[in-house]
């Protein structure tokens, strides 16, 4: 049985038992007998591995009160986790209908009901409740409601509302939390900029050599959003990459190079940053060679192999590029047929004949640093856990 479910059952039984003990002097014997029978019935369901029936039976004897509210909160969360949203809504609604709870308990019930609504797809109802709590609830509830509002607007891609909600949180957060929300704001501004630019596809072949096809009006709007993004995080990598792409589209290589000069190369960004860096700076610059070598040493990403090989080819010739390829591909046994080809033809195969297929044979792979999700497509926000870079 699920450990969380078992804990809920224990809480329900303990709370019911204690309440029964407390009320012995005020209730007639028939009521005590009925309650005792229901508890035994609930335990029977539990022993027969019928947890839902056990919960329903045990909780039926629990009166909603300040003392039992935590049991109901736990039950509501349980139903929501199991996807039984109607039951979760009923539990939290029953708490809100009770006038004996404390103000904090009422606000907690309202927050839980809002989460029930958003998980059910009733986003408008959830938004109304969350807005009320974010404006007037106790500080802890305000913070939780504000966070859920940001996530709700993010899910709906209402980026301006998400920015505003995150801004409120920044004014009430610690330095570490404020940094987290500012990073999200920068992403949201970039989403608005990309929307103005007709959403450039970071996985589009040739994007990093041709830049973004856009109109002067759209570019002006996008630059306005990026300027606001820089106010949140001045050197945010997504801002720098977008500005470089836009300058590249204008054929202004110097501006593109200046925009990306402060970009810190990290393994998670290699998939989009390296092709753009090479398009702007070329393969011959010493600083590019140093950056690529350090990045490859830190990440061991096979998608970097074609770029490093091309740098070696231009710096030291085909033999050095070929030797590097053979050495690195042999080290990565998972590359299969390409490794076997190089082992069999290491003496006769020329680097020039491989250049056109290296990028197809050794693509980058997106890897989420939070949950480990992997794929061939780049994402600013992980499709699995929704973490932003």
SS3 45: helix
Q: What is the pLDDT along the chain (389 residues), one digit of tens a residue?
A: 455 555 555 555 545 545 544 444 444 554 445 544 555 555 555 445 555 655 555 555 556 678 777 877 888 888 888 888 988 898 898 888 887 889 999 999 999 999 999 999 999 999 999 999 999 899 999 999 999 999 999 999 999 999 999 999 998 888 788 999 999 999 999 999 999 988 778 888 778 877 787 888 999 999 999 999 999 999 999 999 999 999 988 889 999 999 988 888 888 999 999 999 998 888 888 888 998 999 998 888 889 999 999 999 999 998 898 888 888 887 876 665 665 666 555 555 677 877 878 888 888 888 888 898 999 899 999 999 999 98
Give residue for tokens 């500005």: 243
Give residue for tokens 């335990």: 43
pLDDT, position 30: 44
**Alpha helical stretches, state H, 270-336:** 270-281, 286-299, 305-316, 318-331
Instruction: Decide: 211 and 245 in contact? Cβ < 8 Å.
Output: yes
Alpha carbon of 263 to those of 230, 244, 290, 318: distances in Å?
Answer: 13, 10, 14, 30
pLDDT, position 183: 95
Please give the helix or strand (H or E) that residue 388 lies within, else none.
Answer: none
Which of 137, 66, 138, 73 has the alpha carbon at shortest distance from 101?
A: 66
Residue 301 carries which DSSP code? -
Full-prediction pTM beyond 0.85? no
Please give the helix or strand (H or E) that residue 374 lies within, else none.
Answer: strand 374-375
pLDDT, position 41: 55
CA neighbours within 13 Å on the CB side: how many for 311? 24
Give one DSSP letter per residue of 351-370, joined into a string.
HHHHHHHHHHHS---EE-TT
Give residue for tokens 């509210």: 69
């Amino acid at each position: 049985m699920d450990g969380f479910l078992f804990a809920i059952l224990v809480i329900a039984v303990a709370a019911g038992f204690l309440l029964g003990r407390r009320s012995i002097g005020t209730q007639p014997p028939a009521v005590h007998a009925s309650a005792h029978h229901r508890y035994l019935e609930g335990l029977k369901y539990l022993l027969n591995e019928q947890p839902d029936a056990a919960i329903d039976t045990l909780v039926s004897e629990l009166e909603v009160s300040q003392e039992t509210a935590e049991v109901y909160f736990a039950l509501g969360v349980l139903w929501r986790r199991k996807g039984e949203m109607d039951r979760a809504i009923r539990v939290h609604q029953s708490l809100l209908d009770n006038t004996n709870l404390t103000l904090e308990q009422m606000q907690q019930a309202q927050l839980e009901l809002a989460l029930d609504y958003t998980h059910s797809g009733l986003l408008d109802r959830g938004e109304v409740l969350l807005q009320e709590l974010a404006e007037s609830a106790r500080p802890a509830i305000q913070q939780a409601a504000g966070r859920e509002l940001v996530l709700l607007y993010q899910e709906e891609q209402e980026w301006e509302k998400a920015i505003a909600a995150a801004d409120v949180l920044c004014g009430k957060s610690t330095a570490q939390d404020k940094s987290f929300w500012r990073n999200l704001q920068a992403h949201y501004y970039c989403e608005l900029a990309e929307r103005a630019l007709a959403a450039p596809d970071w996985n589009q072949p040739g994007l990093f050599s041709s830049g973004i096809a856009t109109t002067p009006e759209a570019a002006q709007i996008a630059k306005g959003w990026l300027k606001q993004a820089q106010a949140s995080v001045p050197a945010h990598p997504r801002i720098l990459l977008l500005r470089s792409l836009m300058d590249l589209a204008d054929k202004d290589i110097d501006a593109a190079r200046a925009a990306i000069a402060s970009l810190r190369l990290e393994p998670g960004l290699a998939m989009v940053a390296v092709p753009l860096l090479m398009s702007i700076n070329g393969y011959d610059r010493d600083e590019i060679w140093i950056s690529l070598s350090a990045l490859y040493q830190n990440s061991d990403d096979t998608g970097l192999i074609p770029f490093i090989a091309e740098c070696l080819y231009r710096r030291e010739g085909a033999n050095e590029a070929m030797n590097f390829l053979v050495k690195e591909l042999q080290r990565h046994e998972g590359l299969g047929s390409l490794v076997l080809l190089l082992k069999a033809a290491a003496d006769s195969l020329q680097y020039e004949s491989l250049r056109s297929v290296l990028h197809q044979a050794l693509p980058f792979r997106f890897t989420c640093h939070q949950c480990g999700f992997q794929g061939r497509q780049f994402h600013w926000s992980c499709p699995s856990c929704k973490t932003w870079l």
